Amino acid sequence: MKLDGEETRSIRPSEDGSAIAVLDQTLLPWRTVWITIDSAAAAAHAIRTMQVRGAPLIGGVGAYGLALALRADPSDGGLEAAYAMLAATRPTAVNLRWALDRVRDAVRNRPHDARAAIAWAEAGAICDDDVATNAAIGRHGLPLLEEIAARKRRGERVNVLTHCNAGWLATVDWGTATAPIYAAHDAGLPVHVWVDETRPRNQGAALTAFELGNHGVPHTIIADNAGGHLMQRGQVDIVIVGTDRVTRTGDVANKIGTYLKALAARDNGVPFWVALPHSTIDWRVRDGLAGIPIEERGAEEVTEITGLGPDGTVTRVRVANPGSTAGNPAFDVTPARLVTGLITERGRCAASEVGLLGLYPERA
């Protein structure tokens, strides 16, 4: 996708296999800073502190982190220790463990002196797969927006509401929820995006708006609680969100607040679609409420906010009553019954086990 007018990916691997460069997303949109990750510990730190975030991107960075660990210690013990450290960084998104499993499987029973190179190549393949997957999600989601445009008067905009950031900043390229939006925009459709601010970390206002603006997609930032109001007044044609984990029965875990958007969409007859790559499906879990761990993050994310100060520096200020405590569940689960359908790299389907197995029969 485009950053400052140039096409880029969110991960830039070095040619010699010694490091990767990633955007520090805690500084966006105010400063564009590429940081270097040259060890598994650095990868774990970047994931844990949300310098990198978004389920597919976490998976890609985790894969490279495991490859970097094997440069330092290619033994079985080194492999397992690095795997455990990286897997513990974020519990909800299933892509991380999927990517780590793929790298570990690739190097098992291989000579120790070849493991680092094999793992590096596998991490690159995971990232290339993510790009191709998300581009396919865009192709399969585009007809949904084309059908809406066909029902409207010529030139009337197609209004999409999205939540959090499921764009190219959360993946290696294209994004998941944004892939159909970019495809529609590039095809000349008059698409407009309502961007939820997405408290408490404001990934929508900071990140989704940043990348849509860089690509030239018309958008408007709204308060999280405005979505239902807009739906009631017919100003939202479709909701498209991403996800950090989908059960085999179609339950969806995504950024906190997604469930409320699904409820409002159902009440107002607005289609609610979820875009996801194959790596986000957790085939082991049937009941999302019972089986998906929900990450509880620090209270300071709720009581404080990051912004650009009057002097141009990035700063944090407290917005909550001094002395009050805060809870911070990072995700919620939207039951499959509230999801109109899923958009995957293999096509669209119902949010159900039958629907998913229709696209992935090898999982039956």
Strand partners, 302: none
Dihedral through CA 196, CA 134, CA 291, CA 348, nearest 10?
Answer: 90
Written as one letter, the residue type at 22 is V
Q: Between β-strands 331-334 and 281-282, what pairing exists: parallel, antiparallel or unpaired?
A: unpaired
Burial string for 107-130 (b: 16+ CB within 10 Å, else e) reads beeeeeeebbbbbbebbbebbebb
Inter-CA distances, 254 with 3, 140, 163, Å? 26, 21, 9
> 216 and 185 in contact (C-beta within 8 Å)?
yes
262 Cβ neighbours under 8 A, 6+ residues apart:
239, 272, 334, 338, 339
Q: How far apart are CA 207 and CA 203, in angstroms?
A: 5
Residue with tokens 């570990």: 104
Q: Is 293 exposed, middle or buried (0-12, 13-18, 19+ CB in 10 A)?
A: exposed
**Element containing residue 181 per DSSP (H, E):** helix 179-186
Q: What are phi and psi of 110, to 5 degrees?
A: -110, 155
Known catalytic residues?
244
Q: What are phi and psi of 169, to 5 degrees?
A: -70, -20
